[in-house]
Amino acid sequence: MTLAPKARTDLTVAGEGKVEGVVGAGELSDTALGLSLGEPRSPASALAPPPLPPWARFDPLAPGQQPHHLGCSGHLRPGRACGSSTCMASVDKEAAFKEDDSSEFTWEVKANDRYYHLQFKEQAFPRCQRSKYKTNVIRTAKYNLFTFLPLNLCEQFHRMSNLYFLIIIILQGIPEISTLPWFTLFAPLVCLLVIRAARDLVDDIGRHRSDTAINNRPCQILVGRSFFWRKWKDLCVGDVVCLHKDNIVPADMLLLASTEPSSLCYVETADIDGETNLKFRQALAITHHELNNIKKMATFQGKVVCEKPNSRMHTFVGRLEWKGRKYPLDTENILLRGCKIRNTQTCYGLVIYAGFDTKIMMNSGKVHLKRTKLDKLMNKLVMLIFLFMVLVSLALTMGFKYKVKDFKSHHYYLPDSYGSTKTVESVFNFLGFLILLSVMVPMAMFILSEFIYLGNSVFINWDAKMYYEPLDMPAKARSTSLNDHLGQVEYIFSDKTGTLTQNVMTFKKCCIKGRIYGPWGLQDPHQSRPSTPALQEDPYLWNEYSDGKLLFHNQELQDTVRANQDPMVREFWRLLALCHTVMVQEQDNQLLYQAASPDEEALVSAARNFGYVFLSRTQDTITLMELGQVRVYQVLAMMDFNSIRKRMSVLVRNPEGTILLYTKGADTVIFERLSERGELEAATEEALAAFAEQTLRTLCLAYKEVDPDVYEAWNQRHQEASVLLQNRAQALHQVYEEMEQHLQLLGATAIEDRLQDDVPDTIKCLKQGNIKVWVLTGDKQETAVNIGFACQLLSGDMVILEEQDIVHMLDNCWDSNNNLQSGKSWALPHSKMAMVISGDFLDRLIIQPDLDKNQDMSFTGDLDHGDIWKEAGQRQSARQTQRLSGMWRSFLEWLGNTWVLRRCHKPQLQESPEVRRERAFVDLAVRCQAVICCRVTPKQKALIVKLVKRHRHVVTLAIGDGANDVNMIKTADVGVGLAGPEGMQAVQSSDYVLAQFSFLRRLLLVHGRWSYLRVCKFLRYFLYKTLASMMAQIWFAFYNGFTAQPVYEGWFLALFNLLYSTLPVLYIGLFEQDVSAEKSLQMPQLYMAGQKDELFNYGVFFQALFHGTITSLVNFFMTLLACNNIGGAPNLSDYQSFAVILALSSLLSITLQVILIIKYWTILTVLAIFLSLFAYAVVTYTTQSLWLYRISPHTYPFLYADYNVLPQPFALLVVLLNVTTNTMFFLAFQFIYEAVTKPYAKVEIPSEEILVEPISYLQREGRGRRSSYAFSHHEGYANLITQGTSLRKSQDTNKDGLSFWKFWKFSWPYMWERKFQETEPGPTEVPMSLAETPPPPTEESDLAEQPMEVDPLPLESQSSSMEWLPVTLEDQFHPALAEQTSFPPEKQ
C-alpha cells in the first residue's frame, strides 16, 4: 500500500497508544500498515497531566523544550522507557522537517561513509575549528600529561592560604627584612603543594583507568564487507555495529535488524533509568526486510537526519532517507549507549551519536572541584587574618615613624642623612612586621590537616563493620579531603533500584479461598521464618522443572496442590501460568523467563515451582505442564495492563473446549467486578490489609467461565473495535469492560521487593539525626512509593502531596506573593507531609520559560479531563485534592508571607520569576519529611541536587549504584557509590565506596561525626596556640621602638608549629572522640551539631582569638613585670633571658590546654605530649650549643640561653605562675560558659519524629499501596504476542523449547488428536515433536576473530528475513533432519 507524497494519515503505531502523527513522503509496506492498524491504542492518551500554574505552563515555541500532552489532540507516542503515563503533545514531523536548514535538525549521519562526516566542522575557539562529529572516545579525567601541572597549580592557588604563603616567601627573599632564610618557608609550601597534587593525581589516575577500560571494550564493526573486532574508541558516527546477547551498547545507534522476528531487540536499561524490566526496540520494516545479509549492509547508504545531540533520554525525532524515500524514527528504533542486549542473539545498528554526544554521556555531568564548608570558611578566615595583619602592621609602622621623630629630637647630633631614609625604613619596617606576624596563619596547620584527612580516610577503609563479606568489598574512601563533610550532611539523595532494594522480587505469601499461606507453613503474617537445618533442603525436588530459587514454601499448600482435588487452588496457579506476557527460552536444559516486569517473572516462576509450568507460546496458544501433564490452551484474546485499567486479562479455550477468562489486577478494580461479595471476599480483604502492613506488593486474581454464544457476540464487537481508525482505545476499553464482569475471586498474591539489609533501621536512624532522605529514581511512581513505605521513609500518618496538590499550593503561594499587603504570619499546620512528583512534572514546573501571570491560562484547569477513564476512587481522590480548606490556605499564605517578607528585607536583590519559582518549590519540598521523585533522568537528578544546594546552602550527599546516578553523585557535595550489579561507573565517579546502603549510617554518624569533631578541634586549638604564642610579637613592638625585632629565638619561631606543638594537635585530629561508636549510633541526635556548624564557626574563631590574646597578654606582661623588678645576680632582665622565659611559658600553657581538652586518652596521648616537650629540649640544646655558634653566630645567637636561665628558681617560678594563671582563666571560662548555655548532650529530637494528627482530607487511602504492582505495571508484550510480531513461525518458535518436549513426546500424538477432535479451535500453531524439528542452534562465540562473510540466499529459499544466520553444528552433521521441519500442507 503506497501513500502519496506529503500525504497525511492518522496512524496508531505499535505500543502505547500513540498517535495521530504525520507521515511524510514515502511508502509504508502492507506489513507495517497491518501492524499499525491492528494495534489497540492505550486509553492513557486520553488523560491529561495535572494542570500547571500560569508561570509554569508549557510554551510550545520555547527552544529546547519537549512537548507534553496538555489536552491537545494528535499527541505523539512517548518512548517505551517513558511509560504510558508520560504522554507527550503532538509533534508534526512533517512540519519539524519542513526546513532542512533548521538548527534543531541538522544532524546528518550517512551509513558506511566516514569521509562524509569528516567534512563537517564546527567552531571551537576563535579561528579554530574541530570536527562536528565526535569519536567514541570518552575522557572523564580532569588532567592529562600536559595539563596536570598548570591546572593543578591553578586550583591550588585558588586557596588564599597558598597565595598568602607565596607572598610571604617572596618577602623573605629580601635580606633587609628577612627573619629566616627563604627556603625555611619554601620547603614546607612545596611539601604542602606536593601532598595535595599527589592526592589529586591518584584520584585522576583512577578516572583514567576507568576511561581506558571502557574505551578498550571490544565490539564488531563492519569494515568493507566483513565484521572485525575493534575497540569502542575506534567507533565513528555512521559505522554499522554487530552486537550479541549480553553485550553493552557502545553508542547511540539506530537499530537496523536483528535475529528476532520482526527485528525486535530486547534491552535492559538498568544502567540508564534503574529499571530492570525488559524493554523492546524494533527496527524499521524497510531495514528489517532489505538488510538481511552482510553484503547488503555493506552497501547500505541510508542517511539519518535527526535532532542535534541532547540530554533528553526519552525522546528522539528523526527520519531515515534511503532510496528516495523517507521513514520516520523515534525512540523505539534507537538503542542508547549503556543498554544491555537481552534475549536477542544478534542485532545490528547504525551509530548516530558517539562519545560525549551520546545521551547518557550528556547526562553524566562534569567533574567538579569539591571543597568542604570548613575549607571555604578557612579561606575566608585567612583573608580576615591577613587584613588584620596589614592593619596591625600599618599601626606599628606609624608607631615606628613616631619613634624615629622622637629619636631625632633627642639625638640632634646625628647627621641629617638619617631623615632622608625614614620613608624607606618605614616601608621595610612594614614588610618586616608582615613577615613577623605571618606565623599567625601557620603553614603547618594546612600541612597537618592533609595528614589528618588522610588518616581519617584510612580509618574508613579499615572499618571491619563496613566490610561486606559476600562481595569481599570493604568501604573505601576514594577522596581524602571530604571527611568532615560527612559530619554535616543534611540531605541524602538516593537512587532506588539497587541502592535501597536488592533488585530482586520474591513470592512472599498468597491468599487462596480467604486463607493465608505464609512461608514455611506459618499463617501468622507477623511470625518469622524458623531456621533449622532440616528446612534448608529444596522442597520442590519432586518437580523436575523447579528452578530451586523459590524461597517460599508451605507444606500444606504444596500437599493441596499435588493432591489436585481443590478446583480453586488449581485455577489459582493455572491463572498465574496463563495470564502474563512472559517470554520463554531454553538454555542448558533450563527454562529462562524474560518478563516486562520482575513482578510477572516472580509470579510465573512461583507457578512453575508449584507444578504449573509455562513451557512455550505461539501467536494464539500457550502450552503448560500441569503437574506432569501437558495442556495446550488456545488464546482467544489478551487484554494487557496499562496505567488506567490496572488489570490484565486473558481469554482462553482449554483442551476440553471450555472458554475461560482469567484476570489479575488491583484489588479496587477486581472487587468492583465480582459477581458477589461474601465471606471469601471479606477474608481476602483482611489478607490484603495484612499484606499492606508488611509493605508487600499485592495482586488480586479472579476468573469466570464464558458461554460460547456470549463469546461469539463479544468477539464480533472486539474485532470491530480493533480496526477503528479513530477512538480505538476508548472502544477497546468498553469492549474489555463488558467481558471483565461477574468474576469469581480466587485469591491474592503478595510479592516482596526485597530491600537491602537494615534499610528501614538506617533511614529511621538518619531521620533521628535530622538527615532528610529524598529518593530520586527513574522507576515508576507507584513502585517508588511502595518502596518508600517498605523502608519507612513514608508512613501511614503522612499527608502525601502529589502533583495536583503541589500545583494548588504553589498557585496560592504565587497569589499570596503578588497580592501581599501586610506582613502578618499564619500558623503552620501540624502535619507530617511527603512529596511525590515525576520528572515530567519537574520539567514543566522548573525548566519552563517564564510566562506572564496575566495570560489567559487557568491554573486550576479542568482536572476532570478524561474522567471517563478513571476509576471511581480516583475521581473521588481528585475532587478531594481540589477542596482545600481554610486551614490549608492558611499554610499557603504563611508560606507566601514568610517568603515574601524574607525577600522584602533585601529589596536590592530582585529575583527573576524563574528563581522565585525555584525557591518556592524548594521551600515547599524542604518542609516535607520525605520527597520521592519518579521517572527522572540523570540530568534531572543533578538538577534537584543543585536546587537544594543553591537555595538551602546545606551539605548534600548522593548515593547510587548505576551510570544514571553519576551526574547526581558528581553534583552533590559528597558522592557515595554502591558496588552492585549495575556496573562500576558510579563507583568510579564517587568519593566513597560502600557495599550496602546500611553502611551509610556508620559512615555518617560515626566516621563523619568524628572527622568533623576532630578537624574542628584541631583548627580551634591550632589557631589558639598560634595566637597565644605569636601575639607577643605585637606587645613586644611597643618596647623595642617598633623595629620589627622578633621576641623569640628564630629557630623557636620556625619550629614551634612544625615540631614543638605538633604531635598533641595531630593526635586530636586523628584519634579524638567525645563518645564511642556505639553511643554515636544510639544517639543520632548528636549529629546535628555538625549540621548547625556548632563546633567551628566565626564565633568559635573569635573565641580562639580572644583566648589566645588573653594567654599572650598574661605570658608577656607577667614575665615583663617579673624580670624588671628583680635584683641580685644573675639578672634576668636581658633580652635573651626574657625570650627564654616567655617561650617556655607559652609552650607549657598551650600544652596544658591540650591536656584539658582531650577527652579520649590512650598511651598515644601521653607519648605525643612527652615527645613534643622532649623535642623542644633536644632542639633548643642543639641550636644553643657552642659548636653551632662558632659556625654561624648570626644564625645561632642564643648561646647557652636556656642553660643559664632555667636553673634559676625565680625563672621557674615565673613560668609556673604564667601557666597557672592561664589554666585558671580557662577553667573559669569553661565553668561560666557551661552554666549559662544549654548542655551539649541535650539535643531535641527532629520535628519529623513528633507524632501529630494528619490532615484527613488529603490523606491517601491505603489501598493504593496494596495494589502497587497493578498501578505501576508497564504495558506488556500482549500486542506483540497477539500479532505474532515477537514470535517466530512455528518451526522457529519451538526450537527454544525442544528439550522439554523430550520428556513428554510420547503423549503428544494423543494431545494433538484430542485438540483437533474435541475443541476444533481453528488453525493453531502447535509445537512439533522432536523428530519433526531441527535442534536449536548452538551459541555463537563472542571472541571469534575471523570476519563473517555470508552470501545472500535466493529469495524463494528464505523463510524469514534473518535466514542468513550461521548454521549450527547439528545442522551440518544431520542434514536430513532439517528436511523434516515443515508441516504437511493439511496441518499448515
DSSP letters along 1061-1102, please? Answer: THHHHHHHHHH--SS-HHHHHH-GGGGHHHHTT-SSSHHHHH
Within 10 A of 37 (CB to CB), how many other CB atoms are there? 14
Cα separations in angstroms, 1306 against 191, 393, 556, 1303, 1311 = 83, 105, 32, 8, 10
DSSP letters along 292-357, please? Answer: -SHHHHHT---EEEEPPP-S-TT---EEEEETTEEEEE-GGGEEPTT-EEES-SEEEEEEEE-GGG
Cis amide prior to 1334 (ω within 30 degrees): no
Q: How many helices (H) and strands (E) does the chain have?
A: 52, 35
Q: What whole-number distance in Å separates Cα of residue 1248 and Cα of residue 996?
A: 25
DSSP 3-state of 193: helix
539: amino acid identity, one letter: P
Q: What whole-number distance in Å separates Cα of residue 182 and Cα of residue 1271?
A: 73
Q: Nearest to residue 989, comparing CAs of 1012, 953, 958?
A: 958
Q: What is the 3-state secondary structure (H, E, C) of 523-539?
A: CCCCCCCCCCHHHHCCC
Q: Nearest to residue 844, comparing CAs of 87, 53, 45?
A: 53
Please indicate whether residue 203 is annotated as part of the active site: no
Q: What whole-number distance in Å separates Cα of residue 389 and Cα of residue 381?
A: 12
**Whether 1298 contacts 586, CB under 8 Å:** yes
Q: What whole-number distance in Å separates Cα of residue 479 and Cα of residue 887?
A: 48
Residues 6+ apart with CB under 8 A from 1363: 292, 1353, 1357
Identify the H or E element spanning 930: strand 930-934
Cα separations in angstroms, 393 against 164, 435, 1112, 1343 = 16, 10, 18, 74
DSSP letters along 257-302, please? Answer: EESSGGGEEEEE-HHHHS--S-EEEE--HHHHHH--SHHHHHT---
Q: Which three cell numbers stand for residue 528?
A: 518469622
Residue 248 DSSP one-character state: B
The residue ranges of DSSP E strands in 589-713, in sequence order, are 590-594, 612-617, 621-626, 629-639, 647-653, 659-665, 697-706
Residues 6+ apart with CB under 8 A from 543: 609, 610, 611, 613
Q: What whole-number distance in Å separates Cα of residue 1169 and Cα of residue 1147?
A: 11
**Whether 677 contacts 745, CB under 8 Å:** no
CA angle 946, 948, 949 (to 5 degrees): 65
Angle subtended by helix axes 803-819 and 913-926, to nearest 10? 120
**Whether 483 contacts 1003, CB under 8 Å:** no
Q: What whole-number distance in Å separates Cα of residue 811 and Cα of residue 818?
A: 11
| β-strand pairing of 489-494 with 264-268 | unpaired
Residues 6+ apart with CB under 8 A from 365: 938, 939, 942, 966, 967, 970, 971
Q: What whole-number distance in Å separates Cα of residue 42 and Cα of residue 40?
A: 6
Angle subtended by helix axes 555-563 and 567-578, to nearest 10? 90
Catalytic residue chosen out of the listed positions 495, 779, 923, 1074: 495
- CA 280 to chain centroid, in Å, comes to 24
Please count the CA atoms within 13 angstroms of the CA of 85 that sit on its side-chain side: 22
Residues with catalytic function: 495
